[in-house]
Amino acid sequence: MKSAYTWIRGAATALTLGAFGATGAMAQDTIKVGVLHSLSGTMAISETTLKDVMLMLIEEQNAKGGLLGKKLEPVVVDPASDWPLFAEKMRDLVSAQKVAAVFCCWTSVSRKSILPVAEELDTVVFYPVQYEGEESSKNIFYTGAAPNQQAIPAVDYMMEEGVKRWVLEGTDYVYPRTTNKILEAYLLSKGVPAEDIKVNYTPFGFSDWQTEVSAIKEFGAAGKKTGVVSTVNGDANVPFYKELANQGITAEDIPVMAFSVGEEELAGIDTAPLVGHLAAWNYFQSVDTPENAAFIKAWHAYIKNDKRVTNDPMEAHYIGFNMWVKAVEKAGTTDPAKVIDAMVGIEVPNLTGGMAVMGKNHHITKPTLIGEIQADGQFEVVKEIPAVEGDAWSDYLPESKPLIADWTDPIRCGNYNTETKTCGGAVKAN
C-alpha cells in the first residue's frame, strides 16, 4: 500500500490547488488543465500517482515557457472512486472551471460516467489506462491499450507457454466483463473447449480471497496446464496476490497474467512469492532506453523520493499530454473542435523507444510488453510485440467485427458499419 507520506502529499496538493482556484491566487491569463483522478477510495492506490505525474508534466511545460504564451494551471479534483461523482466533477471542470482539457479516470465505469458530459460540453479528454475497447468518442483520446494491444497478445504468449486451461478472474464492472467476453470468444476460436474456460467476478475492494483462490487451485488440478488472466483492479489486488502466496500457487504451477497490476500496485506487496507471475503492459519502468532513464530521473527529482516507481498509465499520460501540447500548438488555439482535428496524426516519442502516433480512431500505436514479476517489484521483459494501432472494435465479437472508428472526413463516426455504410453500428436487414 502507499506510504502515509504519499497520501498526505496527494491530499495536500489537491487542497492547495483547490485553494488557488477558489481564491483566484493564480493569474487569470492561464490555460487551465483538468486532472480528474481518485485520490481516495478503492482506486487511489492506482490513480494518485497519475495526478502526481500530471502535475510534473505541467510544471515542466511551464518551465519551457508554457503554451501559446500562457502558463498552464492545473485544476485537481478528487472524485473519490465514486463513479457518478466523476460526471459531476467533469461538468464542474468544464463548465465552471473552464479547463481546456481533462486528463482523467482509471476504470472504464468512471470513463463511461464522464463520456456523455464530455460529449455534451464538447471538451477534450485523455484516458490513460488499458480498456476493453468497444468505444470511440470524438471527445476522448485513448492513450492506454485496446484489447488487441494487451489482452490478445498476452493470451497468445500464455498459449505459447503451454497454457491449455483458463481462469478469467476479474473485478465486477464493464472493463473485465467486456474484455473477458472478447477473450472467451478468442479462446473458443482457437479451439479451447468451453469447459476449459472458467470466468469469475468479485466486487471492487474485495478482500476475502480464500474461497476464490481455492477454486482456481481446484480448477487447475485437472491435469492440463492452467493459467489465470486477471482483470482484478484497484486495492483488491493486494489481498489477491497475498492469498495466492498463502495457498502456495506459484508461477510454475498456475501463472497469473495481470492487466491492471504494475509497479505501483506491487509497491505494497511482498513480491518474493510472486516471482515469475506475469503482466502485460505497453511500458515497464525496467525498460532501458535514454527516454525512459530521463523520465525516471525527472520523476524522482520532482517527487523527491527515489523509491517512487513509474508505470504504464504514467507513460500514457506522458504521451497524451505531449500530444495535446503539440496539437494546441498546431491549431494555434485550445478550441476543442480545432484541437480534436489537429490531434489525428500527431507523433511523439514513447518511453520504450519509437513513436506513438494518434490514429483516426483516437487510439494510438503501442508496443506490447510481457513482463515477469521480479523480487524487487520490477518486471523483466520476456517478450516484446511491435507497435500496432489500437482497434476500437473487436474482430472477435460478431456485432463489432464490421465496425470501425474514423473521426476524419468524410466518415466522422465512432462506430461506422463497413457493411451497411452507415454511422451508428446499424445491422444490415435480412
Tens-place pLDDT, residues 359-384:
999 999 999 999 999 999 999 999 99
Residue ranges of the chain assigned to CATH 3.40.50.2300: 4-145+288-365, 148-287+370-389
pLDDT given at position 425:
59
Q: What is the pTM of this model?
A: 0.88
CATH of domain 148-287+370-389: 3.40.50.2300
C-alpha cell at 103: 486528463
C-alpha cell at 276: 515469475
pLDDT given at position 13:
43
**Domain 4-145+288-365 superfamily per CATH:** Response regulator (3.40.50.2300)
Cα separation, 316 vs 227, in Å, equals 28
pLDDT tens for each residue of the chain, 430 residues long: 333 333 334 444 444 444 334 333 344 699 999 999 999 999 999 999 999 999 999 999 999 999 999 999 999 999 999 999 999 999 999 999 999 999 999 999 999 999 999 999 999 999 999 999 999 999 999 999 999 999 999 999 999 999 999 999 999 999 999 999 999 999 999 999 999 999 999 999 999 999 999 999 999 999 999 999 999 998 899 899 999 999 999 999 999 999 989 998 888 778 888 899 999 999 999 999 999 999 999 999 999 999 999 999 999 999 999 999 999 999 999 999 999 999 999 999 999 999 999 999 999 999 999 999 999 999 999 999 999 999 999 999 999 999 999 999 999 999 999 999 999 854 433 3
